[in-house]
Structure 1
Amino acid sequence: MASEPPTGAYIPGTFDAEPRSAAGLPLALIEQWRDTGQSHEDARRLLGRYATRGYSVVSDSAGLTKLSQRLGLLEVLALIDRPKRILHARTTAIGGTAVGVWAADNAQMFHPESADAGVLLSALLKVQDEIERSCRVRIGIGAHRGSFYGLAGGLYGPEADAIEDIAENHTEGGELVVTGAVVDRLPPGHSFVLRRKDGPESLVGAVYHVLDGPRQADVRSAAHRPHDPRPAEDLRYPIPYSAAFYADLLRLERCPEDVELAGRLAAEHLQDRTVVLVERSVAAAETPELGLLRGLALSAVLREAGLALMPARGAVEIKIAGPLALYLFEEAAPAVRFARCLRAGLAEHEIVCRIGVAAGPVLAGETPGGGWDVAGAPVNLASKMAQDLGRPGRVYLSEAVRERAQLDGFTSVRRTVSGVEMTFFEG
């Protein structure tokens, strides 16, 4: 997308009021950045306190786009729950810590630099074995040992972005891939079977398939987790749902063929809403540290511009995550007006964006740890229209939104993505 201004224009008075943090956005750090000369030295000094080294393990489910064409949202959520539970149990048992809230089909774990690479790979191979044996959905897993910044409950930095991209866009269901930095930590004479992955090297270097190797023995004790005496299998991954809904989801997971139960739970928990997904532009910077802080400052501009334009009722900001922002509207027409006004408002600050607007049944609500989250086909569709297929400076509407909003100035587009043919509208 188009370049950002070198220092990131911002709205005066943006950081004068509470709260000092937002979902996925470290506002206190951004305030400190604004008060500096915004040099590379300033960036390194501010980020230094958040620096950490270790292993980032990222997973992504395979085939959900096609699966969601024939199954309801709750059935899909039930299917992807068990793989996340297995990954969390196995990696928590060897000292891993869950990162962020595991919304939709993504999951992330962090292991300290002192972790044994061989033990980690054995655990991840065991994860894939268990998922293949007991789950209908497969996942791809990527692991990298490197340097990251721990901010707002997530891992940031170019190496964090690189392993997420590898896991989400360059793995298939059942695959385990690792970077050369992980391979280098394996002991001499190890028994893992590795094969170099084809394609150009990523920012984090060569990537390898882990084809075979020793499997982790069953872990029933809390030896690796002295702070928590419970067996790893009893620990919940950071669910993005209320406790009441999660209990219902587990019931559906145990009875996947119970059509009556699925229908009753859908009627109780799902709402027809319109999702607005915004991706702002990302520009290269002289150093990774400058790029990270400039990007965060621009995400803060995006947040404030969005909040200023949202109607008093019928809409909520879900979260700001990196260059992405997510909003939920009760009606389609106000959502489209918001998208157009936000595009214009960001352009005044020399920030280019692309926006996807989609409508349909979603699961939305406050998470146990505070904040909001949303899941459902409209989120995926908005992402595919804007991120996968969209052009900078454009707004994209799904067929459902175009039908409900009845707006002029949008042109029909027909494309295929992830094996699914889509019709949407560009304006």
Structure 2
Amino acid sequence: MLYKAYELQRSWLNSVSTVASLSSELLSSPSNPWSKTTIGAMSANAFDVLAHSTAAYGKPAFGITEVAIDGKTHSVIESTVLNRPFGDLKRFRVEGVDIVDGEATARRPKLLIAAPMSGHFATLLRGTVERMLESCEVYITDWADAKTVPVHEGSFDLDDYIDYLIEFLEYIAAQSGTERTKPARPHMMAVCQPSVPAFAATALLNQHDSPASPDTLTMMGGPIDTRESPTTVNDHAMNRPIEWFRQSVIATVPMQYRGAGRKVYPGFMQLSAFMSMNLQSHMMSHYEMFKHLTLGDEESAQATKDFYDEYRAVCDMTAEFYLQTVEEVFQKHSIPNGEFRHKGEIVDLAGITHTALLAVEGERDDISGIGQTKAALKLTPNLAEDKKKYLLAEGAGHYGIFNGSRWRTKVAPVVEEFIAAHS
């Protein structure tokens, strides 16, 4: 019933969005005498905001076509290099740098960005990819919307997420050499929730002395130990037993989708939870959008629209992945307690001796509190201290540590320097 109720609401809101959009166009039409009045213009802008806030959004495109490096603009080539049922591996190469005269080069570090599987598409990290392309050949995990994955493809849980990361790292490592150079180890960056599986995958690869062990792992706003500075998100996960989550927030995908019958944690529920945490802020953002439109500041209004186009494009995650994450990460604290197992094998964090670790946290992060990511540095006793680094991004919230001006000018340079130092 949960999903059906949502589909009914979505259909109604789509109708509202269509009517509001038509009303905005009518009121702003040059042939309409009311468009030249203050009340007409303000009404058109109000309908524009309403149309945008009630529209439904599908999976966005990355749309990265070029990047500036050392003052020169280069074309970016996007491709999918591995296809898997629950997520693909995408690669972004820069023409003239990663590819010269049609031939791949091995000149720049190869970075795998582990995108969160937390209700949004990997395109939420578009700004992260774009900025890192200035110094790295970038790969990213492009997770599938669980409601589009047929039931016959099987399940996908936290263990499978780790397996995907290991497979992707092995692929990148195998592709990193040329006829003239030996293969180089890849680098990995995990943004928010995937810090946990990325940390575990790194430990397993180090334990087995794999050539795919990343040279560096950057964890950004990740819930490694949620007992440190617990947030509202952490409290919500801790205050209810796992059975409550199983009964209250898990839904069945309806028949109109390819994944019909699959049990999922719907993306619309995750979005509702995030929106309600900062409802006043989101309302003010739309009010500011209205003011920008009224003042004729189309650029600022469009920036807000672009953000919400991405933020409100949500996808479902499998029930088994969601429930296992809640239980192991937020309730049992299996990683910091040294009890986390990957398919029966204890993940020994003390086995990390090769991969250098960078922990990045936001001063104003209300999703992963200060100290939660930094805890990873304490959990690796056999890793040399000169291979550990911590960055507290002053003034940055959760989103700001991987997107926006603070990310581009304050955080990304530190990440680049760290990768260069440990390649």
Normalising by structure 1, report the TM-score. 0.25
Normalising by structure 2, report the TM-score. 0.26
Higher helix fraction (1 or 2): 2
Higher strand fraction (1 or 2): 1
